[in-house]
Amino acid sequence: MFIDEARTYVKAGDGGQGCESYYRDRYMRYPRPDGGNGGRGGNVVVIADRGIQTLLDLKYKQHYRALNGGHASSKGKSGKEGKDCVIRVPVGTILRDHATGLLICDLAVDQQSVIVAKGAPGGLGNAVRRRKIVTSPGIGEGRVLDVELKLIADVGIVGFPNAGKSTFVTAVSNVKSKIASYPFTTKQPILGIVCGEESDTERQKNFIIADLPGIIEGAHQGKGLGDRFLRHAERTKILLHMIDMAATDGRNPLDDYAKLEHELKQYSEQLAFKHKIVVANKMDLPEASGYLKRFKRKYTQDIIPISSIQREGLDRVIKVIRQKLCPECSLDQSSASSSK
Ligand SMILES: Nc1nc2c(ncn2[C@@H]2O[C@H](COP(=O)(O)OP(=O)(O)OP(=O)(O)O)[C@@H](O)[C@H]2O)c(=O)[nH]1
Ligand SMILES: [Mg+2]
């Protein structure tokens, strides 16, 4: 199950008790304080992990506690350090303090880590203090975290249900996204990697593409699956706007385009003004060419006709995406090829 929001309580370990004890042998006139220090409590650490796709674990396990530090003993023996509690989350997880709403960390890179609750120091024993008293141990930090996942992909595909988003992603990337002729087949975002050709420069070789659930008119009011999945398009560099140009579901593709633009704007202005590539899918069907002509007259000439099912025009889309993701790389390449 794909979960992209969770709330969880984290509690770091308390410090162990310091010890008050004295050593004395027959040759000593006064006893010597020799109580050890209490161990430090464990931290709660959150680590971003590429291998994890969802916040499911945090949804069901709502309390994470690190171990307390061990108590000290005589002969200067310190208590054991409390073991850290490690929480692994997907890359793209954002952590906020629930009480203040302040951002703690945006874990955008694999293996990036952050201490969200610090373990308390142990109490000092009387061997350190050289006095009778020992200090009391600290209490480990505890807080409620709001955890949110915003996937990090280079390209996010948006469009009405059945536009052919999953067919496209399956054709160009390494994932097999479920394809069917009923709406909302895709219920959660799916990430795929598009690999480059052998000849591509290293930098522009691979990019990540996100197949997002379909958006319908009124999604911002909760219609269909709502617009909450658009959060996963927020961090993409490019939006790929896919239109069913053959109107297979009986809607007018020109209206689809306007409605989708409106929904994006309702969600956020930032999303509406992202780099966009408009793609006309299902061009293998006879109705499509008429609609495409009208679309070009009404909106823009800048639209790429494709047929995902027949794998036609896909290379051109990938090429345009690469140009937008890394304009310098394509310049390098074109100058290299022209100098050959
Ligand atoms: N003729 C034709 N049919 C297509 C093309 N691309 C996709 N389809 C069909 O359109 C239907 C929907 O395809 P999907 O890829 O599941 O569409 P989607 O946009 O992912 O749909 P949701 O996940 O429901 O939002 C399937 O029956 C596909 O076979 C195309 O280029 N030509
Ligand atoms: Mg789909």
DSSP secondary structure string for all residues of 165-210: HHHHHHHHSS------SSTT---S-EEEEEPPPTTS-STTS-EEEE
Contact 271, 234 (CB under 8 A): yes
- Is the CB–ligand 1 distance for residue 188 below 6 Å? no
For residue 215, which ligand has an atom nearest its CA?
Answer: 1
pLDDT tens per residue across span 100-114: 999 999 999 999 999
- The string of pLDDT tens digits covering residues 116-128 is 999 999 988 888 7
- What's the mean pLDDT when you consider all of the chain? 89
Q: How far is CA 130 from the centre of its chain?
A: 51
The ligand 1 atom nearest the CA atom of 178: 16
Per-residue pLDDT at 331: 52
Instruction: Report the predicted TM-score, pTM, of the whole model to 2 decimal places.
Output: 0.79
Query: Is any ligand 1 atom within 6 A of the Cβ of residue 281?
Result: yes
CA distance 104 to 31: 49
Domains belonging to the chain, first-starting first, are 5-149 (2.70.210.12), 155-339 (3.40.50.300)
Rounded CA-CA distance 214/184 in Å is 6
Average pLDDT over residues 138-151: 94
Q: How far is the CA of 120 from the centre of ligand 1 (A)?
A: 56
- The answer to whether 5 and 93 have CB atoms below 8 angstroms apart is no
Give yes or no for a contact between 16 and 72, defined as CB atoms under 8 angstroms apart. yes
**Which residue's alpha carbon is nearest to atom 16 within ligand 1?**
179
**Span 233-269, pLDDT tens digits:** 988 999 999 999 999 999 999 999 999 999 999 998 8
**Among 173, 179, 260, which residue has the most ligand 1 atoms within 8 Å of its CB, making it the best to mutate?**
179
Q: Is the CB of residue 309 below 6 angstroms from any atom belonging to ligand 1?
A: yes
What's the confidence (pLDDT) of residue 337?
Answer: 44
Across the range 164-190, mean pLDDT stands at: 93
